[in-house]
Amino acid sequence: MNSWHSLHVKLMQKTRDLGLLALRIWAGQEFILAGYTKLSGGVHAPEWFSGLQFPFPLHFLGADLNWVMAGAGEITFGLALLLGFYSRLAAIGLLFITFVAVYTVHFDLGWSGWNQIETDAGLGFKVPLMLALMLFTILTQGSGRYSIGIKEA
């Protein structure tokens, strides 16, 4: 019986941070792809983005600068998150970008889900909320041991 307990303890020690790794990989690649999609179209915001009302103080920056900052932030913080490099800082940055996205775009469109994500009906706040919950987990738990960053307490 003692050997089963010992095996269980060893297994738990080896796999303890795999969930954090999975969250970092999933959320990181999602944000990197979103940022790449934004910036691959150029530095000028599309027409639909130009008409949005941004929260203070971002409304002073203009649509083009907000577009570039959001794309660059998603790529930079997404890559840091994916690699586990200053993951908590990356999570804070991505949570801010997600908050602004929900505030300006997604919230008024309601609660839409995965099955509608590529349609006009799929732009609601369900997916950003799920990503925000993943980021909150990383913010509170750190990057875990499978990372290249400084080991966070």
Q: What is the pLDDT of residue 152?
A: 54
Omega of the bond leading into 128 within 30 degrees of 0 (cis): no
Q: How far apart are CA 105 and CA 100, in angstroms?
A: 8
Task: State how far Cα 132 lies from the chain centre.
Answer: 6
Q: What is the pLDDT of residue 96?
A: 96
- Name, in order, each residue with C-beta under 8 angstroms of 110's C-beta and a sequence gap of 6 or more: 124, 125
Q: What is the pLDDT of residue 34?
A: 92
The closest alpha carbon to 70, from 47, 48, 99, belongs to 99
Model pTM?
0.83
Q: What is the pLDDT of residue 7?
A: 79
- Name, in order, each residue with C-beta under 8 angstroms of 134's C-beta and a sequence gap of 6 or more: 23, 26, 27
Q: How far apart are CA 137 and CA 97, in angstroms?
A: 16
Q: What size, in residues, is the chain?
A: 153
Which residue stretches of the chain are H helix? 2-15, 18-40, 47-50, 63-83, 87-101, 126-141
Residue ranges of the chain with per-residue pLDDT less than 50: 153
Find out whether 132 and 126 touch, Cβ atoms under 8 Å.
no
Q: What is residue 82's three-state secondary structure?
A: helix
* Domain definitions of the chain by residue range: 17-141
Q: What is the pLDDT of residue 55?
A: 86
- pLDDT per position as a tens digit, 51-65: 888 888 888 898 899
Q: What is the pLDDT of residue 121?
A: 53
